[in-house]
Amino acid sequence: MTGTARIRLLALVGAALSAACGGARGVRGPAAAALTPAAPDSTTLSLSPSPRGADSVGALVARAEQDSAADQQLLDSLHRPHPRVDSLEGRPPATSPIKGEEVEREAERLFGAEGRAVIGAAPSPEPTFDIDVTSFATNRRVLEYLEFFQVDSRDRFEVWLARLGRYQGMIRERLRAKRLPEDLLYLCLIESGFSNTAVSRAKAVGMWQFMASTARLYGLTVDPWVDERRDPFRATEAAANYLADLRERLGSVYLAAAAYNAGVGRIERGIDRLPGEPDSVDDHTFFQLSDRRYLRRETRDYVPKLIAASLIAKQPGRYGFEVEPLSPLAFDEITVPDATGLDVVARLADTSVAALLDLNPQYVRGVTPPGRSVVVRVPRGRGTLVAERFDSLPVTERITFVDHYVSRGQTLSDIAKRYRVSVTMIEGANPRIRAHALRVGQRLIIPMSGRVVPASAWSVPPEPRYRRVSSTGVSAGNHRVRSGETATDIARRYGVSLTALLNYNGLTMGSVLRPGDVLKIPQKQ
């Protein structure tokens, strides 16, 4: 048996024995330090009424931030190499599938008759895939990520698998409508962990991790009030359209996935460097690009991560995961004509604020936008009731809070005076506030129940801050912008991706380059 096959076998044996022993989890070697307790999942819906007022909104905001931070810690680690003591580096890949009798023999050798009984008694049925998993399941990096998900990131990955149950049917339906493989839904596992509030270091947002420019290109609204990158339904529609465009352009599902991560230009330039006919591309082409290191490390690992996540998601029990899937979202829709707090709508629907925030994550401030008619989702069966109650709701009761974004030099007393509330009320509405350590741009919940909120009371969220492009200090790693040059031209000239160039200089697709500005050129990867 090859070394790779043995490691894969041990993973299966360990998973089965873990399940047989009531879910006890063993940790091998240095991986123990990487395990962290699972934080509560803020996406769990509850239909029981919650306390009214801004304090419950503030608590939910704090909890969501904590949960998102736990997600982001693991998501960030997915973009870094994972060298391990028992790494598979240099070992030959398995040339044939592991046979059932080999699993039984190895289990009996390691664990006695009990091990044979556990492994041999109830073989799990082989899942089916509509992406090519079989051809690449024994790829070295696929096996390494299988191990990473099972050991280093087990607790958080289990939370992600539970979220899968909420969105799986909806995403499969939309991918099917675009004639895309339905198993591309597992991209969300490695992009965001099915989190609608995920925000990457590059400022990509939501379940499908759209940058603002791409989101707007595919019809999503992104403004200070509404960010449809966080709306799982609208974002999935946009992602399906984007992936369909990428597959049509590149001719391969895995190349489309790679382009989703790195940009289509980088993938096409890599294909042009390959020997042979440039039009004869398929899923194996991705691995050719990866083997030749024509892609940056994150992109080389992107498809292996997708395959590893797919293998586990299709048969979590086989890999030792005990998952209780969340129920799919079910809702009615109502039209709200003006600024209204989601906590108010929750009260009208006799449900929790958490339920309304989960159904409507696109309303980033917990309030529908002023002067704009929008659709709000409410729990299934409550739509007519909420609409009737809303019609008789006084205007003074539509808003119970506003959100305030701290500006430089502001104190809690200054903010309390501005809104004519007490410091104690603000502190009660923001459970984790530190009065003497306010951060510029920090969001505070301000109670406003029973009063009409004037437009001037709405604080404007701070724009993302980017480093200014230097105009001096040219060196070997810099480029001075010439008249008529674009960021795309410069990226192509130096053989780097547009995304990498923009991120390296703290720019966005909307940034304006002026002649004489100096851009730093990132290293090729």
Element counts in the chain: helices (H) and strands (E): 20, 6
Tell whether pTM > 0.75: no
Cα–Cα separations (whole angstroms), residue 83 to 79, 86, 150, 183:
13, 8, 15, 28
Task: Say if CB 121 and CB 312 are below 8 A apart.
Answer: no
Cα–Cα distance for residue pair 449/460, rounded to 1 Å:
20
- pLDDT score for 278: 63
Q: In this structure, is residue 298 part of a structural domain? A: yes
Of the candidates 179, 235, 183, the one whose C-alpha atom is nearest the C-alpha of residue 209 is 235
Which of 69, 99, 123 represents a domain boundary (last residue)? Answer: 123
- pLDDT score for 277: 66
- pLDDT score for 524: 72
Q: In this structure, is residue 432 part of a structural domain? A: yes
Cα–Cα distance for residue pair 69/475, rounded to 1 Å:
37
Domain of residue 267 covers 136-319
Task: Say if CB 142 and CB 136 are below 8 A apart.
Answer: yes
b/e burial code for range 188-224 (CB count within 10 A of at least 16 → b): bbbbbbbbbbbbbeeebbbbbbbbbebbbebebbbee
Q: Do residues 304 and 271 share a domain? A: yes
Q: Do residues 314 and 424 share a domain? A: no
Q: Do residues 142 and 286 share a domain? A: yes
Cα–Cα distance for residue pair 203/188, rounded to 1 Å:
16
Q: Do residues 189 and 258 share a domain? A: yes
Question: In terms of DSSP bridges, do strands 518-520 and 478-480 run parallel, antiparallel, or are they unpaired?
Answer: antiparallel
Q: Do residues 183 and 248 share a domain? A: yes
Nearest 5 degrees, angle CA 415-CA 419-CA 423? 55
What pLDDT digit, counting tens, does each position of 377-400 carry? 999 999 999 999 999 999 889 998
Q: What token pair was written down for 466?
A: 């980017």
Q: Do residues 114 and 155 share a domain? A: no
Q: In this structure, is residue 342 part of a structural domain? A: no
Which of 297, 319, 341 represents a domain boundary (last residue)? Answer: 319
Q: Is 198 helix (H, G, I), strand (E, B) or coil?
A: coil
Q: Provide the number of structural domains found in the chain.
A: 4
Task: Say if CB 204 and CB 152 are below 8 A apart.
Answer: no
Q: In this structure, is residue 356 part of a structural domain? A: no
Of the candidates 315, 331, 389, the one whose C-alpha atom is nearest the C-alpha of residue 11 is 315
Q: Do residues 261 and 291 share a domain? A: yes
Q: In this structure, is residue 384 part of a structural domain? A: no
Q: Do residues 154 and 96 share a domain? A: no
493: CATH: 3.10.350.10
Which residues of the chain are modeled with pLDDT < 50? 1-55, 83-103, 106-107, 110-111, 115-123, 465-476
Q: Do residues 260 and 217 share a domain? A: yes
Q: In this structure, is residue 293 part of a structural domain? A: yes
Strand-pairing partners, residue 205, are 199, 210
Q: Do residues 271 and 154 share a domain? A: yes
Q: Do residues 94 and 149 share a domain? A: no
Question: In terms of DSSP bridges, do strands 374-379 and 331-336 run parallel, antiparallel, or are they unpaired?
Answer: antiparallel
| Long-range contacts (CB closer than 8 Å, 24 or more residues apart) made by 81-86 | 81/297, 82/144, 82/145, 82/148, 82/152, 84/30, 84/31, 84/144, 84/147, 85/29, 85/30, 86/7, 86/28, 86/29
Q: Do residues 140 and 268 share a domain? A: yes
Q: In this structure, is residue 383 part of a structural domain? A: no
Q: In this structure, is residue 442 part of a structural domain? A: yes
